[in-house]
């Protein structure tokens, strides 16, 4: 059995990652691929419990290094219990956030050394690297404006951080994409969701040769 593909969506608040991840997983299913939609932090019961600790509460609930440690614990559980087994079974895994979010939020945004973050990432995921990462890009004010209208746990701690943090965050994601152009594709997230989805599919076909199976 062929190994599945691992696709991640990254970006700041309000950039439409969750929507695009959901649309892509649905399209892969329509094309006849086994697809699994998941998220970080989260994806497994243990990781979802840690998610509640990280994304909710006051801005100063945790210091940045504590956040990295909590995220690393959640990620380890997620990777070992869900992502690796799914990939081994030939499933295409679509993940809303992965390691680049930790680099961007706690590294570029909050100032934790990227060397420290990458050492912890290595401990948590080993040699697992996404086959393709979509970086959803949107000006900070537009993204925060979208995020302000959402419900549920999306309206959490990180949206309350100051504008300078969110600007560093956006710059961080773009820097990550520039450093790894073979893995990352920057997507203009200002368009309507269906237009953005079409751009995502164009990159998917070009980079991974993906398309409908069995004549679909």
Q: Which two tokens stand for residue 143?
A: 């993204």
Report which of residues 143 and 150 the model is more confident about: 143
pLDDT higher than threshold 50 for residue 154: no
Q: What is the pLDDT of residue 153?
A: 44
d(CA 181, CA 171) in angstroms, rounded, equals 15
Domain boundaries, the chain: 6-208
CA 214/CA 93 separation, integer angstroms: 20
Q: What is the pLDDT of residue 152?
A: 47
Closest by CA position to 196, among listed 41, 7, 9, 6 = 9
Superfamily for 6-208?
Answer: P-loop containing nucleotide triphosphate hydrolases (3.40.50.300)
Q: How many other CB atoms sit within 10 Å of the CB of residue 154? A: 14
Instruction: Name the nearest CA neighbour of 17 among 150, 171, 118, 160.
Output: 150
Residue reference for tokens 């995921």: 125
Contact present, 203 and 209 (Cβ < 8 Å): no
Q: How far apart are CA 69 and CA 55, in angstroms?
A: 14
Instruction: Compute the distance between CA of residue 28 and CA of residue 200 in angstroms, rounded to an integer.
Output: 12
- Fill in the DSSP letter of residue 181: T
DSSP state of 152: G
> pLDDT band at 206, cuts 50/70/90?
very high
DSSP 42-83: -SSHHHHHHHHHHHSS-TTSS-HHHHHHHHHHHHHHHIIIII
Element of type H or E holding 149: none
pTM of the model: 0.93
pLDDT digits (tens, 9 = 90+) for 94-147: 999 999 999 999 999 999 999 999 999 999 999 999 999 999 999 999 888 888
């Amino acid at each position: 059995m062929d190994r599945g593909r691992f696709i991640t969506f990254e970006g700041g608040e309000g950039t439409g990652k969750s929507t695009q991840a959901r649309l892509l997983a649905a399209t892969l299913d329509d094309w006849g691929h086994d697809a699994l939609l998941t998220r970080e932090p989260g994806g497994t019961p243990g990781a979802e419990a840690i998610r509640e600790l990280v994304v909710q509460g006051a801005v100063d609930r945790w210091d940045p290094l504590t956040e990295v440690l909590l995220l690393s614990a959640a990620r380890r559980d997620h990777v070992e219990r869900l992502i690796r087994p799914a990939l081994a079974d030939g499933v295409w895994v679509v993940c809303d956030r992965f390691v680049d979010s930790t680099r961007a939020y706690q590294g570029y945004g909050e100032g934790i050394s990227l060397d420290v973050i990458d050492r912890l990432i290595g401990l948590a995921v080993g040699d697992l690297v996404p086959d393709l990462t979509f970086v959803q890009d949107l000006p900070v004010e537009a993204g925060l404006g979208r995020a302000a209208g959402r419900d549920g746990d999306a309206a959490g701690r990180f949206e309350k951080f100051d504008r300078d943090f969110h600007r560093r965050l956006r710059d961080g994601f773009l820097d990550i994409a520039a450093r790894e152009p073979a893995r990352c594709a920057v997507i203009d997230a200002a368009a309507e969701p269906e237009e953005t989805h079409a751009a995502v599919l164009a990159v998917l076909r070009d980079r991974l040769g993906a398309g409908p199976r069995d004549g679909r």
